[in-house]
Chain A
């Protein structure tokens, strides 16, 4: 197993060597730490993806919000009500929206299996198109292409609050039993979550917008907080390489923590006069 580690770390250090050698000529100066960061992060995640693909078993702690997805769609089916999925108000140029669409493809697979009515109002036309692609493929995978129709995913408006007003209108008139808010949100998050609460729906939110997490935490039943939201689609797919990337992400997080502690320790020693070099200058982060 560890010869894989040697190969990958060999390639990574070779790339960093070339970068160092041609620094200033091929490569611009000023963002060297970021380049080294990109290479190390990519190598780490790639190593664990590769490891997972060749069968290594990986433990993933349960995320409450994800187990509740199937349960929520089930409840909507029993009550004969629809499922509402809100993919956030940003466009496909935000990774949060891409993650939201990936979660939509899993939810669509469940609604196809349960034959529940799925309603996806979108705030951007490009999100509408890629959400349609995702849903069509999920209904195909679930073996129910007949249940899929294009206008299950429909456009409301590009404006943040016109979109919120439109989605509120859908909620209070069609009273969906399960509401999903997965994507990037701004101030309108509480408008949606409070309306969803007033119609008694199960609400599962997930977002990378740090400022909106408090509202989702207070108003929704389950909330995928920041990184949990980005890991959700890998969890739900349980494809080995995606789960491997979660492990890789954890290791990178561990590295960042080690880096922070060592920066703190070395800097404190410098301040106390024991060491005379400045770690931040060394790392080029000053």
Chain B
């Protein structure tokens, strides 16, 4: 029983104290552990756990197919996707490349033509300069997924150089090399899916702001005004918003602020109209249309930058300190052992 309940608590408290005070202890091993190894250990444990997660996901998808639950046909796709990724990661490198040794100088242009048949070459002149720089041994920048396509290409260019050798990128590097089967999967399947899911946010941001930015109370109005000013101020169209529109809106804003103080609606209405007439008149008099003498406060990008640099930064700082204290208190409760999630 001790091993199951008390031991984990001892580990958590011990490791917590050791790492917290390890930041201060003047010992290179301790400093090394706290600054580097602690998170590396975590990354290693997390990498082992990933297989646990993948197995759980697979079990559920297979169960769905076996029991023919609703939408079981799609689970086959999930299982196939997982198998394909494991195949491209562990069993099939698909990263063949070709190196040429001592290319005959006059064949360089022909070589570039051959390369452009299998790969888009956006600047042939530069490629020629690159090859001339390393005639002794040059690796063709094209990675072939299948060995057969690499062999076929090496046959077509056999006359170019003294000899043409085929090679395969080492295991482990094949995951990062652009052109291998794994990177093909990354660029043609994984990336479109993840960046399109990300792009869905553009639509959801619109529908969320349409529904949420409503003048319900004063706070919601602040949310709305700050949002709109930032939205328009940060893009070039913000430049085109004329000064008189900004000044009129400002007068309306001030009017809304003082509205509760003035019960007589007619007087309030008069003040607002007076304000608009005054500001517009002043503008025409001092010829604010010329950008040079228009007061900075009336240009929307400046307002948005001010809102962004000061009130928003203040709000961010308050939340940041609040969150930091929340994390500190929670960490302290964990180190004291009075709050345990395991």
Provide the bound-state CA to CA distance between A234 and B326, in Å.
11
Complex contact B50–A125 (CB within 8 A): yes
- Write out the residue numbers on chain B whose beta carbons fall within 8 Å of the beta carbon of A38: 20-21
A140 at the interface (CB under 8 A from B): no
Complex contact B198–A161 (CB within 8 A): yes
Complex contact B319–A154 (CB within 8 A): no
Complex contact A133–B342 (CB within 8 A): yes
A selection of 30 A-B contacts at a CB cut-off of 8 Å is A19-B24, A27-B25, A28-B26, A46-B336, A99-B326, A102-B341, A122-B53, A124-B53, A125-B49, A125-B54, A133-B342, A155-B52, A158-B50, A161-B194, A173-B70, A190-B208, A197-B208, A208-B326, A210-B319, A217-B212, A218-B209, A225-B319, A226-B323, A230-B329, A230-B330, A234-B339, A242-B338, A245-B333, A249-B325, A252-B328
Q: Tell me the B188-225 residues at the A interface (CB within 8 Å).
A: 190, 193-194, 197-198, 200-201, 204-205, 207-209, 211-213, 223
B83 at the interface (CB under 8 A from A): no
Taking Cβ atoms with an 8 Å cutoff, the residues of A that contact B are 19, 24-28, 31, 34-35, 38, 41-42, 45-46, 49, 91-93, 95-96, 98-99, 101-102, 105, 122, 124-126, 128-130, 133-134, 151, 154-162, 164-165, 173, 187-188, 190-191, 193-194, 197, 208, 210, 213, 215, 217-219, 225-227, 229-231, 233-234, 239, 241-242, 245-246, 248-249, 252-253, 256
- Write out the residue numbers on chain A whose beta carbons fall within 8 Å of the beta carbon of B209: 218
Please judge, given known A-B contacts A105-B341, A187-B201, whether A157 and B57 are in contact too, CB under 8 Å: yes
Complex contact A126–B46 (CB within 8 A): yes
Chain B: number of interface residues, binned into ranges: 35 or more
Task: Name which residue of chain A comes closest to B56, CB basis.
Answer: A155
- Write out the residue numbers on chain A whose beta carbons fall within 8 Å of the beta carbon of B193: 161-162, 165
Provide the bound-state CA to CA distance between A122 and B194, in Å.
18
Taking Cβ atoms with an 8 Å cutoff, the residues of B that contact A are 20-21, 23-26, 31, 39, 42, 45-46, 49-54, 56-57, 60, 70-71, 190, 193-194, 197-198, 200-201, 204-205, 207-209, 211-213, 223, 316, 319-323, 325-334, 336, 338-339, 341-342
Complex contact A193–B208 (CB within 8 A): yes
- Write out the residue numbers on chain B whose beta carbons fall within 8 Å of the beta carbon of A230: 323, 326-327, 329-330
Q: Quote the shortest CB–CB distance from B231 to chain A (angstroms).
A: 13
Please judge, given known A-B contacts A28-B24, A28-B26, A219-B208, whether A249 and B316 are in contact too, CB under 8 Å: no
